[in-house]
Structure 1
Amino acid sequence: MTAFCFRDRRLSKGFTLVELMIAMLLGAFFLNGVLHIFSAAKQSYRTQENLARLQENGRLALDFISQDVRMAGYWGCSKSAPETDHFDKKNFFYQFTKEDSNKKKLGKALEGFEAITPVSAGLSTSVENWAPKLNPIDEDFDITSPDNLLEGSDVLTIRKVNPQGFLITSIDLKSKSLQVNANANELASAGITKPTPANDGVAVVAVSADCASAQAFQITNVLSTGVIEYKDIASKAGSALIAARPGNKAIPALTTYKGGTVHLVNTASYYVATKNNEKLLYRKTNTDVAEELVDGVEQMQILYGVDSDFKPAVGNYSAPNYYVTANKVEVGEINWDNVVSVRVKLLLATADNVAAHRLPYIFNADLSDLTETIPPDKEDKKIRRVFTATIAIRNRLAQPIATQ
């Protein structure tokens, strides 16, 4: 006979449907909380990363500009710009000798162009949008190229020579050449190379041993032994070196330059342009292809500190009396020789849309008391910051007065 064992139902284990639903609801609630925490942490990290890059880009951009501005007007040990240039062609990049036939265009160690159009996202191909006009910018600095200048943003140009100089050990007036204390490879690493029909010529400044004079010219050849030739080559149609601008219209007289130095001419122009719908800070050095320096730079506005008491004949640089825009520098007897400092103001934006909503921003271009709140585009949720630096031109700092 089989015996059956009946168990009390009160001893049954498990969950009822209601209990299971409550457990699932609580689990979903806690899971949602965890997801929100992770999402907030991710967004916070993304925001902090963008802000860190923004700060880094701002400091980097100001550092690039500051290094060149401080060295504006540096001509080796010479205290003034080259007295003579022998260039066949005067173009924007080689306008740094004391004067030209018009007595005003050359000798600008520093030169700015004030944007006179409203701030916009548009590109410009017109020289009329800047004052002074961008007329000096010729085929070597084509503003109609793919990397167009940005309307409403200033342009800054600095002219100087590279600090690295090569000692002139001997001069051969008959062969129109000079020997320096370096070979061709060492010269090439400093940018001093012979011209070819495929590239532009290399302009240099030779400084005399006593630092009393300097001359600018284009080299025409570099030998492996470090001999630099400087024959007269006109950059004109039919020349084998037509691409080798600027060319020499005359042969420099370097009779007394043994023991002096040779430096590469370095003209750097800074501007903001757009590429692939992104705004970037560019630097164009001489006639080389412009470099993309820093991304996220949306505007550059510049003021120039003018020492109105400066007298060229005396060379008594002091401190700036006031700051003006580029189109107000050459007024009356004031010119670019009176500029002793530069105030740069940059507007930078994060790479990504990290804000919860659109953030209107204020960019006071002329640093006056007038401010304007600028609303971003509808889909623009970027965070913006303004970076400002006032930079002194080292070669124009006030010198201590010698006591008797």
Structure 2
Amino acid sequence: MSPRERVRGLSLIELMIAMVIGLVLLLGLMQVFAASRTASRLSEGLARVQENGRFAMDYLQRDLRMAGHFGCVNDQSHNVQSPGSMHTTFDAGGHPALDFMQSIQGFEAADTEPGKPLTLSATPSTGGIEYTPALPTEYAEALTNRVDGSDIVALRFLVPDGVPVTLVGGTDDKPVFNFDSSRWAVLQSGVEAPGLFGVADCLTATMFQAGEVSGSAGTVTFESAPNNTGSFTSLYTPGQAMLYRAESVVYYIGYDATTKQSSLYRVRFSAKPGEALVAVAPEALVEGVRNMQLLYGQDRSLSAASPPTGYIDRQGTAADVEASITPAADAWRRVGAVQLGLVLESPDPSAAAQANADAALTAPTDGRFRTVYQTTIAVRNRLYGN
């Protein structure tokens, strides 16, 4: 009889060794995948923050530079004239959005001045903090979703593009301004039915509400309107005067409870021809903007009666500006530069943990990527008073 052949196969020990080797390789692959996924999320978060930061800076820089624009000369030049050559038909003590004699005004959130630590909560609180100067009721009612601990800035100016006045009809105190109707879109500058305008030459500027506007006929008529309490006191010559749309806007940081995102918001105050002033619904411009801090640089000469020197040698918060000159409107007209700081955060968690972008910034450990953007903006022509 032949000997029985031995049955060959894997022993239990060999099988266990193979499983351990496989598990080690699988664990290594999982770690590589997790590291790759984390790097991808971090890269995406960084890209989103950088993109949003550029957009937010562009929005704010554009309008901050325009503060004080009232035709071929700025508000400082108009106000150093004796008597002043900048006029308005609006009620001086009426709605703050129509105070075009004060082109820029900031509101400093309590306990956010330089040197104070800034702490960000996981879910920002809204509408429950004080400002210096006090936030007007009209602004508070329009900015209901404003994030506590973030500054606010109000801007008023004439938009960059205007149209030449081709004919002035009507009477001296109730003029009718004619322009080339083919340029109506330029005068609208993105607003469907504008009613707030400014007319200016190199001598005077007047802000007013139109009682009637005809884009097809190319006419803007000044007459009785809800926001007009005065009449024209300056005469304008066709071919020398320009007609502009007047802009009154407030920038702030707001929170959307639905999307759970904080964003850079804008509220525009506007009035249709012959109608009351309204606050347009808040517009979310750029998501992921968590906080905004503003400092204002004032000219060396604080005398409202003298032209600026062009030297910005003092910088402070809105509260510091308010306390520098009486009345405060003259103090704000001496602001020639604005230092802007924004805290940006990624919309979604991008890492298990992140370092704070600034030593004075304490952020929640929610995995979002955060960074700080800063810039200094020269207010249009205010550095040299022209």
One fold, TM greater than 0.5? yes
Instruction: Check whether the contact 1:166–1:182 (CA below 8 A) recurs between aligned residues.
Output: no
1:309 to 287, 301, 304: 301
1:17-32 → structure 2 map (5 Å cutoff): 17-32=12-27
Q: Given the superposition, is the C-alpha separation of residues 146 and 153 from structure 1 closer, same or farther in structure 2, using an over 3 Å criterion?
A: closer
Q: Is 1:374 the counterpart of 2:362 in the alignment?
A: yes
Match of 2:55, SS state, is helix
Provide the rounded CA distance (Å) in 2 between the counterparts of 1:24 and 1:356: 31
Provide the rounded CA distance (Å) in 1 between the counterparts of 2:160 and 2:334: 23
Q: Is 1:53 the counterpart of 2:45 in the alignment?
A: no
Q: Is 1:115 the counterpart of 2:103 in the alignment?
A: no
1:94 to 87, 95, 98: 98
State which structure, 1 or 2, has the greater radius of gyration over its C-alpha atoms.
1
The match for 2:318 is: 326
- Write the deviation string for residues 238-290 of structure 1: whole angstroms up to 9, x where unpaired: xxxxxxxx3x2344366433121110111221111111232211122233222
Q: Is 1:205 the counterpart of 2:198 in the alignment?
A: yes
Match of 1:289, SS state, is coil
313-322 vs 152-161, which deviates more? 313-322
Q: Is 1:66 the counterpart of 2:61 in the alignment?
A: yes
Match of 1:45, SS state, is helix
The match for 1:164 is: 161
Q: Given the superposition, is the C-alpha separation of residues 206 and 189 from structure 1 closer, same or farther in structure 2, using an over 3 Å criterion?
A: closer
Instruction: Check whether the contact 2:357–2:372 (CA below 8 A) recurs between aligned residues.
Output: no
Provide the rounded CA distance (Å) in 2 between the counterparts of 1:148 and 1:69: 22
Instruction: Check whether the contact 1:219–1:228 (CA below 8 A) recurs between aligned residues.
Output: no
Provide the rounded CA distance (Å) in 1 between the counterparts of 2:40 and 2:232: 61
Residue identity (%): 28
The match for 1:368 is: none
Provide the rounded CA distance (Å) in 1 between the counterparts of 2:385 and 2:229: 38
The match for 1:134 is: 135
Q: Deviation at 1:184?
A: 7.8
Instruction: Check whether the contact 2:356–2:371 (CA below 8 A) recurs between aligned residues.
Output: no
Q: Deviation at 1:332?
A: 4.7
Q: Deviation at 1:205?
A: 0.3
Q: Given the superposition, is the C-alpha separation of residues 172 and 288 from structure 1 closer, same or farther in structure 2, using an over 3 Å criterion?
A: same
1:230 to 221, 232, 256: 221
Q: TM-score, normalised by structure 2?
A: 0.80
Provide the rounded CA distance (Å) in 1 between the counterparts of 2:385 and 2:88: 28
The match for 1:242 is: none
Provide the rounded CA distance (Å) in 2 between the counterparts of 1:65 and 1:397: 18
1:7-46 → structure 2 map (5 Å cutoff): 9=5, 15-46=10-41
Provide the rounded CA distance (Å) in 2 between the counterparts of 1:149 and 1:384: 20
- Write the deviation string for residues 374-394 of structure 1: whole angstroms up to 9, x where unpaired: 362xx6232321211111113
Structure 2 residue runs of 5 or longer lacking an equivalent are 79-84, 113-118, 270-278
The match for 2:211 is: 220
1:292 to 271, 284, 287: 284
The match for 1:336 is: 332
| Aligned AA (1:355) | A
The match for 1:124 is: 127
Provide the rounded CA distance (Å) in 2 between the counterparts of 1:344 and 1:146: 20
Provide the rounded CA distance (Å) in 2 between the counterparts of 1:266 and 1:225: 22
Instruction: Check whether the contact 1:147–1:275 (CA below 8 A) recurs between aligned residues.
Output: no
Which one scores higher on RCO, CA 8 angstroms, separation ≥ 6?
2
Provide the rounded CA distance (Å) in 2 between the counterparts of 1:399 and 1:219: 30
Q: Given the superposition, is the C-alpha separation of residues 75 and 153 from structure 1 closer, same or farther in structure 2, using an over 3 Å criterion?
A: same
Q: Deviation at 1:72?
A: 1.2
Q: Given the superposition, is the C-alpha separation of residues 399 and 326 from structure 1 closer, same or farther in structure 2, using an over 3 Å criterion?
A: closer
Match of 1:309, SS state, is coil
Match of 1:341, SS state, is strand
Q: Is 1:394 the counterpart of 2:375 in the alignment?
A: no
Match of 2:267, SS state, is strand
The match for 2:238 is: 258
Q: Deviation at 1:54?
A: 1.4
Q: Is 1:179 the counterpart of 2:165 in the alignment?
A: no
Match of 2:163, SS state, is strand
- Write the deviation string for residues 87-136 of structure 1: whole angstroms up to 9, x where unpaired: 3583222211xxxxxxxxxx21111011115666321256xx0011112x
321-330 vs 169-178, which deviates more? 169-178
Q: TM-score, normalised by structure 1?
A: 0.76
| Aligned AA (1:300) | M
Provide the rounded CA distance (Å) in 2 between the counterparts of 1:312 and 1:146: 32
| Aligned AA (1:179) | N
Q: Deviation at 1:7?
A: 9.3
Q: Given the superposition, is the C-alpha separation of residues 301 and 216 from structure 1 closer, same or farther in structure 2, using an over 3 Å criterion?
A: same
The match for 1:280 is: 263
218-227 vs 165-174, which deviates more? 218-227
Q: Given the superposition, is the C-alpha separation of residues 205 and 56 from structure 1 closer, same or farther in structure 2, using an over 3 Å criterion?
A: same
The match for 1:370 is: none
Q: Given the superposition, is the C-alpha separation of residues 275 and 26 from structure 1 closer, same or farther in structure 2, using an over 3 Å criterion?
A: same
| Aligned AA (1:318) | G
Provide the rounded CA distance (Å) in 1 between the counterparts of 2:86 and 2:320: 27
313-322 vs 48-57, which deviates more? 313-322
Q: Given the superposition, is the C-alpha separation of residues 315 and 222 from structure 1 closer, same or farther in structure 2, using an over 3 Å criterion?
A: same
| Aligned AA (2:343) | L
